[in-house]
A and B are shown apart, each in its own frame.
Chain A
Amino acid sequence: MAKNDLSVSLEKTLEELENILSDTAELNITRAYVCGKAAAVISAEGMVSAQQVGELVLRPLSELDFKEGKSGNVFDHITSKVFLTAARQLVYSLEDICTLLFSGFAVVLVDGECRACALGLQGFEMRSVSAPEAEQTVRCAQDSFTETVRVNMSLIRRRLKTPKLVMKMLDAGTLSKTDICILYLKDRVPADIVRRIKEDIKSIRLDAVLTSGYAEPFVDESFSGSVFSCVSLTERPDLVCTRLVQGRVCVLIDGTPFALVVPSLFAESFQTMDDYSQKPYYTAFIRWIRYISFFLSVAFPGLYVALADHHPEVFSLKLLLNLSVAEEATPYPLMAEVVMLMVFFEIMREAGLRLPKAAGSAVSIVGGLIIGDAAVKSGIVSAPLLIVVGITATASFVTPQLEQPAAVLRLIFILSGGLAGLFGLAVCFSVLVANVCAMNDFSVSYLSPAAPFYPSGIKDIVYMKSFREYEKGRPTLSDIREAADE
């Protein structure tokens, strides 16, 4: 809380304000006389709607006919009866005035008053709500979060009209003063989780919090301890609502169109909103496809290198002969070939991401068709290997939530499989399982409900329960914690 340092003299206050803001060009100061008192309406250019300032503040002020001479009454009168804005608050410090000015408020100062009235007249440019790009669905809502936290809050509130939905506003970043909203359903989330997340957000001592990635390390306990994360990101308001109902806490950060969901489980990376719009048998089938895809995206190239290099007896004779012929024709060791191709794939993916969409597809064509084809024809890589890398790349797109850990693990498995065969893979796998088992943010195991085993929750992993079953109650975070305690 800033100290009360507003002067009773309007001129002095304006001078101090200009000093603090170093005569910034965006400051608009409109002077006026209200019932014989000097007043000023201050706003930041581009942050407020000029039309609204004119209609809701300046016009009522100019039309004011107020007889009483005491300045206190003038201020009270205009703040309570004259201004036609819904959002208004009294301010007592220069620091708060600055913060509010750059959050889209207009500030009214009256001479003889050591307080000001801030009026919410936001009029800055913002992107409108559009269809999600990273988490597309076929039969679900087609809206996604934008960069404005208030808009995002409304997208969630529209779906959950219960008074139990709590939205707590905090700010972070010593310079950016970024608005951060913590959302949870009061009766679903254990109090200690909410308390800890609030403390984590308050503990951020960064100069600026510009995207969700700035806040994530403060909320995620296992951020630097594992390739996986106990915090997931989503741009879908409907998914956020689903998680809130399941007893999670969501964090919206102004300036980023993604919400953080805390804590997140490994199994949830394989769930999409479309799962709940299809028949359970089909959802179960698709989920198993996703599990297989994740396995392929992580382990397939490593497994191929390990088997082909160290355990060729595993392949059936015909396949072994084909592979052998193909590999004989290439000049490099198999492991080097796979590493080369996987790195090339990552380069292509990165190029496709950073370039405009039209150029991105050109990169895929050049990379996938021309270079791939040429590499096989020139004998640099073998055709079976190209198939392996192709399947791996395609499979990695099925679970976008796990794309980053999959990319790193894939490389580790290729190296371990190439150097020590299945022995190396098994050792790496054991370490990975131990690492994932150790993830226990907010006393919730990342592998729940599989480890520790929670029979009611496991059904939602192996197959999807129908909504008739959910009527009896959906397992919440508290249920998972209780099951782990037993």
Chain B
Amino acid sequence: MNKLSLYQLAAVMLCGHAFSLMTFFPYTCDNPAEYMIGAAIAVLIEGALLLPLFFAGDAVRQGGVFAAAERLSPVLRVIVGVFYTAVLIFFCFRVIGNFTYFLDGIIPRGFMRWTAVCGICAAGVYLGLMKPSVIGKTAGVMFFLFLVFCALVVLCSLGRHYTGSLAFHLASRNIGSGIAESVKCELLRGMDLVFLVLFLPCLKQSAAKTAAVFLSAKLVFVWLCIGFVTWVLGDYVMLAKLPFSAMASYSSTAMIERFDAAFMAVWVTLAVVRLGAAFHCLGESIRAVIKPLPKGFAVISTAAVSAGLALFRLSRFEWEKEAYDMSGWAVSVSAVALVPLVLAAGRLIKKRREHSGEDIGAEV
């Protein structure tokens, strides 16, 4: 029951990626084609970033990164625990903040920000307290519903597109910089890969296979989403703060005038899954630092810290800067690659030392 299947973990990560993709587009690229190229490059980089995890795979699979670190040194376990706690608090802080900030544009006036934060965090904590397999199953259901919703929006906006494929023009002020910014943006969104590292001991199949499925599905998904939004909205896509919400508001049927409210509902469910998975991992990370901490307390307290930080920043109306800050991509990269790299290196050194010890023993 504690085990996650490949598809369930992929669904968790895809839900997270879909959430961030639905949230905003970077202003820095000039056209969606740049972003699509950037996404493809980002996928290749992410694949490369995961290599240390595959090298450290066996060690990490037996009890997770924290147990693997403890096998090398108890101090290392605490360092890794603190590192992931900090990374995940930053991750949750951004998810909660972005969610609340961009929700302002969709939700009716008079809805307090703290209410949104409390609602989404409560649901996230509930999910975070569940077993990994439950998180995986929930993500599977939510991602399926999300795909159904996307198909519905696509069908309902078929007759309302503005510019068609002409919108995929390649005119750009600086293609290189546009693609680089897109890569950074995608890497920032790729923070969900940290779930692959932290859920690895619960995974039924191999990490490499899961990563391959996730990365290829993600690329197809990003291309399809961006391609379709561009096709419907044309050049307007680069001006819309929330292009997917804008597309949903353009979709209509004889009975439903616009789908942006429904988009918001689906977006909320994706946020709950992303936060739920993050809170779960956050709880595990803090428990690696302070071992006797009860799971419930660990999850709730760390969730409260992330929510409190986000709410503080939101209450000072400073989120605009935070939302469009792409520097977080470095955190994402280090969270995915750094610790597995250290573990793989440590394991190698330890093996060599053992070998040399055995050789000395044999000589004596």
Tell me if chain B binds chain A. Answer: yes
| Residues of chain A at the chain B interface (Cβ within 8 Å) | 307, 310-311, 313-317, 420-427, 429-431, 433-435, 437-438, 440, 443, 445, 447, 450-453, 485-486
29 contacts between A and B (CB under 8 A): A307-B261, A310-B261, A314-B257, A314-B262, A420-B115, A421-B108, A421-B261, A422-B261, A423-B116, A423-B119, A423-B265, A426-B266, A426-B268, A426-B272, A427-B119, A427-B122, A430-B123, A430-B127, A431-B127, A433-B269, A434-B138, A437-B138, A438-B130, A440-B1, A445-B137, A447-B141, A450-B141, A453-B7, A486-B204
Is B256 an interface position by the 8 A CB rule? yes
B residues in contact with A451, CB < 8 Å: 137, 140-141
The 5 closest A-B pairs by CB, nearest first: A426-B268, A430-B272, A311-B261, A437-B137, A426-B265
| Complex Cα spacing A35 to B214, Å | 88
Is B264 an interface position by the 8 A CB rule? yes
Q: Are A426 and B142 in contact (CB under 8 A)?
A: no
Q: Are B8 and A452 in contact (CB under 8 A)?
A: yes
Is B131 an interface position by the 8 A CB rule? yes
Is B254 an interface position by the 8 A CB rule? yes
B residues in contact with A426, CB < 8 Å: 264-266, 268-269, 272
Q: Contacts A316-B254, A451-B137 known; A423 to B264 CB distance under 8 Å?
A: yes
| Complex Cα spacing A433 to B266, Å | 13
With beta carbons under 8 angstroms apart, the residue of B116, B126, B265 that contacts A422 is B265
Total inter-chain residue pairs, C-beta < 8 Å: 109
Q: Are A433 and B257 in contact (CB under 8 A)?
A: no
Q: Are A315 and B264 in contact (CB under 8 A)?
A: no
Q: Contacts A422-B264, A423-B107, A423-B265 known; A313 to B258 CB distance under 8 Å?
A: yes
B residues in contact with A317, CB < 8 Å: 257
In whole Å, how far is A227's beta carbon from the nearest beta carbon of chain B?
14
A residues in contact with B272, CB < 8 Å: 426-427, 430-431
Is B103 an interface position by the 8 A CB rule? yes
With beta carbons under 8 angstroms apart, the residue of B8, B134, B254, B264 that contacts A434 is B134
| Complex Cα spacing A423 to B120, Å | 9
Which residues of B in the span 138-156 have a Cβ within 8 Å of any Cβ on A? Answer: 138, 140-142
Is B276 an interface position by the 8 A CB rule? yes
B residues in contact with A445, CB < 8 Å: 137
A residues in contact with B115, CB < 8 Å: 420
Q: Contacts A422-B265, A438-B131 known; A314 to B258 CB distance under 8 Å?
A: yes
In whole Å, how far is B65's beta carbon from the nearest beta carbon of chain A?
25
With beta carbons under 8 angstroms apart, the residue of B107, B130, B258, B269 that contacts A421 is B107
CB nearest neighbor in A for B116: A423
Instruction: Type the 1/0 row for B100-116, where 1 means its CB is closer than 8 Å to any CB of A.
Output: 00010001100100011
Q: Are B119 and A434 in contact (CB under 8 A)?
A: no
A residues in contact with B28, CB < 8 Å: none
Which residues of B in the span 216-256 have a Cβ within 8 Å of any Cβ on A? Answer: 254-256
In whole Å, how far is A247's beta carbon from the nearest beta carbon of chain B?
19
B residues in contact with A307, CB < 8 Å: 261
Q: Contacts A314-B261, A451-B137 known; A423 to B268 CB distance under 8 Å?
A: yes
Q: Are A437 and B141 in contact (CB under 8 A)?
A: yes
